[in-house]
Amino acid sequence: MSTSARRVPLVHLAHYRSGTPQERARFVQVFGDALKEFGFVSVEGHGIEDGLIRRTYADVERFFQLPEAVKQCYAVPGGAGQRGYTGYGQEHAKNRTVGDLKEFWHVGRELSPTHPHFSPQYGPNVWPAEVPSFQENTRMLFQALDGAAAVMLQALAEYFGVERNTFSAMAQDGNSILRLIHYPPLRERFIPGGVRAAEHEDINLITLLCEGTASGLELLTRDGEWLPVDTLRGQIVVDSGDMLSRVTNNVIPATTHRVVNPKSGEQDTTRYSMPFFVHPYPQCVLQPLPHTTTAEHPVPPPPITADAFLQQRLREIGLIK
Ligand SMILES: O=C(O)CCC(=O)C(=O)O
Ligand SMILES: [Fe+2]
């Protein structure tokens, strides 16, 4: 695949789940090459019900329209924004000080305290009483995305020629998180110098993005060009994060992306999006697959636990003060 391709490559997940051996092999190749050379890949046939995505967006919209004081009741003190509500402008991209022009809500995984991957830092979810169906819909969406992500990670392991569960086992009962984001109209709230989401790389292994409700998402191609990414209905866009870059010794670099502000004249546009960040379990040691240390990638990053890496990054983006 040419790195100067102007379109995000498209694959069909059902081809990997239940296709012929040729379809499976083709999925593995296109999916892996797309993340390696392009940074983003669009996935259709992922099995996530469109109605569930619509219902969840409706709930998310209802929540973010609540008064600020009500929303703030769902901020979790000392929780580093990992559950519940995080207010407007609080998160900023690494190496920036101006906050992003967004507010968001995080739904995480809930494990019993006796589970080996349990970590008290990633505690129980909170739920907005004002939107009764929020809990059920976001939980169902979390589960559906989690299932689709596990299959994609299996394909990625095949791409590297390692045991199929190598990456999916890291994410199984891991610290994945569903982020529900509201970008309000710029006319209403603006922070000088602020961007809806300033350019950044995601922290985690891979991110699954259901289509956003308005344009604005852009990816920096490996050639250094900003390319708008418009997810079509029925497709999920997947990008690679820093943790995947670590475990592949940068064979798959993390993808730089951003959400740009609407053009002048479109200052009334609201945007919602729902990235699902696929994280390993906290105790998982991130170290490169052995055969990824090559002449091209001679210096593997030192091992670090997923939790230590996450804590470091949460500090860098202003969620841990
Ligand atoms: O809103 C989007 O489409 C992307 C958001 C994003 O990149 C993030 O929250 O990490
Ligand atoms: Fe992101």
Ligand 1: which atom is nearest the Cα of residue 207?
10
Q: pLDDT at residue 78 above 90?
A: no
Q: pLDDT at residue 4 above 60?
A: no
| Mean pLDDT of the chain, nearest integer | 93
DSSP annotation of 193 reads T
pLDDT value at residue 3: 45
What number is the average pLDDT over the span 172-196?
93
User: For residue 67, what pLDDT band results from cuts at 50, 70 and 90?
Assistant: very high
Alpha carbons within 13 A on the beta-carbon side of 188? 11
Ligand 1: which atom is nearest the Cα of residue 181?
1
What number is the average pLDDT over the span 28-46?
96
Residue 227: closest CA among 204, 199, 192:
199
Domains of the chain: 7-316 (2.60.120.330)
pLDDT value at residue 2: 42
What pLDDT, in 10s, does the model give residues 240-258?
Answer: 999 999 999 999 999 999 9
pLDDT value at residue 187: 85
The residue ranking higher by pLDDT, 182 or 91, is: 182
Q: What percent of the chain has pLDDT over 70?
A: 98
Q: What percent of the chain has pLDDT over 90?
A: 78
Question: In the chain, where does DSSP find H-type helix?
Answer: 13-18, 21-37, 50-64, 68-72, 134-159, 166-171, 242-247, 306-316
Q: pLDDT at residue 237 above 70?
A: yes
pLDDT value at residue 298: 85
For the record, the structure tokens of 17 come out as: 């789940």
Identify whether the C-beta of residue 34 lies closer than 8 Å to the C-beta of residue 8: yes
What number is the average pLDDT over the span 34-41?
94
Distance, CA 258 to ligand 2 centroid (Å)? 7
Order of strands, sheet of 217-220, starting from the edge strand that comes earlier in the sequence: 197-200, 257-259, 217-220, 226-228
DSSP for 281-316? -TT-EE---GGG-SSSS-SPPPPEEHHHHHHHHHHH
- CA–chain centroid gap for 277, Å, is 3
What number is the average pLDDT over the span 129-140?
98
Q: How many CB atoms lie within 10 A of CB 178?
A: 24
Give yes or no for residue 209 CB within 6 A of ligand 1: yes
Between CA 303 and CA 257 the distance in angstroms is 26
- Mapping DSSP to helix (H, G, I), strand (E, B) and coil, where does residue 120 land? coil
Question: In 65-128, where does DSSP find H-type helix?
Answer: 68-72
Give yes or no for residue 204 CB within 6 A of ligand 1: no
Distance, CA 204 to ligand 1 centroid (Å)? 13
Between CA 283 and CA 64 the distance in angstroms is 34
DSSP annotation of 162 reads S
Q: pLDDT at residue 5 above 60?
A: no
Distance, CA 18 to ligand 2 centroid (Å)? 30
Instruction: Provide the residue type at 114 as one letter.
Output: T
Give yes or no for residue 275 CB within 6 A of ligand 1: yes
pLDDT value at residue 267: 85
Q: What is the 3-state secondary structure (H, E, C) of 237-250?
A: EEEECHHHHHHCCC
pLDDT value at residue 123: 82
pLDDT value at residue 184: 96
The residue ranking higher by pLDDT, 99 or 297, is: 99
Of all protein residues, the one whose alpha carbon is nearest to atom 8 of ligand 1 is 275
pLDDT value at residue 1: 43
